[in-house]
Amino acid sequence: MKKAIPNEERVSFFGRFLRTYPNFKNKLRDLLEKSGYKTQDWVRYVMYRECFSYIDKLGPQHLNVLEISAGREWRHRFKFGSYTETEYPDFDVCMNALPEKFDLIIADQIFEHLAYPQRAAENVYAMLKPGGIFIVATPFLIRVHNIPDDCNRWTESGLSYLLQEGGFKPKDIETHSWGNRKCVVANFSGWKKRGFFRSLRNEPNFPVMVWAYAKRSS
């Protein structure tokens, strides 16, 4: 009798296939989005919706932007005035700051992996123009994911205090969070997509994602 392949192995194989063929992955993602299936991770969906709305109000076409350890979402969504990305380990935000100054700096799912997040916040502050904005998003009730390490979790209050240690003033920090119990449990075994119907109800005591907008004083 032919041995059945466990479901998790099939998912793992399919994931490896998509990573090997990124153009196919992007075409599949676009097709699913057109059908109404939301391909963003459920844990990040509300955060992206709110952050994208925030950036739209800033006028992205006029912004000089830096993304630390860049992903796909932000550069795919916006036509920024200019866009610079860094990659670890060539650039370590805990140890370095670029000489350029930016209107907007983005760190999406980065700070939980940093050994020295206060140093990183200080370096971000140094790279912002006066009046520039830092958008930082990081998980809370999410399983440990060592890529390459997993060091930190913050509530909204904790993230605010971290940014204050980096040089931002309390009045210039705006924090948010989102999550619910179903999302927490669903992500025990994998990174679930929003899909068609998964709930966007917010239960404040069960945040899976925490984010902040922090402005450097003019």
pLDDT at site 174: 98
Query: pLDDT (tens digit, 9 = 90+) per residue, 67-123?
Result: 999 988 999 999 999 999 999 999 999 999 999 999 999 999 999 999 999 999 999
* pLDDT higher than threshold 50 for residue 7: no
Q: What pLDDT is attached to residue 54?
A: 98
Residue closest to 212 by CA, chosen among 47, 11, 32:
47
What is the average pLDDT across 176-191? Answer: 94
Summary mean pLDDT of the chain = 90
* Of 212 and 17, the one with more pLDDT: 212
pLDDT of amino acid 197: 87
3-state SS assignment for residue 148? coil
CA distances (Å), origin 42, targets 50, 99, 214: 14, 36, 24
What percent of the chain lies above the pLDDT cut of 90? Answer: 75
- 3-state secondary structure labels for all residues of 17-36: HHHHCHHHHHHHHHHHHHCC
- The pLDDT assigned to 126 comes to 98
Residue 189 has a pLDDT of 83
Span 31-43, mean pLDDT? 77
The helix or strand, by DSSP H or E, that contains position 139, with its residue range, turns out to be strand 128-139
Of 138 and 19, which is predicted with more confidence? 138
- What confidence score (pLDDT) does residue 36 get? 67
Q: pLDDT category, 28, cuts 50, 70, 90? A: low
Please check the confidence at residue 157 and state whether its pLDDT lies above 80: yes
Over residues 144-163, mean pLDDT: 96
- pTM value is 0.86
pLDDT-wise least confident of 52-56, 121-125, 129-133, 197-201:
197-201
Cα(84)–Cα(72) distance, rounded to whole angstroms? Answer: 13
Tokens of 169: 């003033």
Bigger pLDDT: 126 or 188?
A: 126
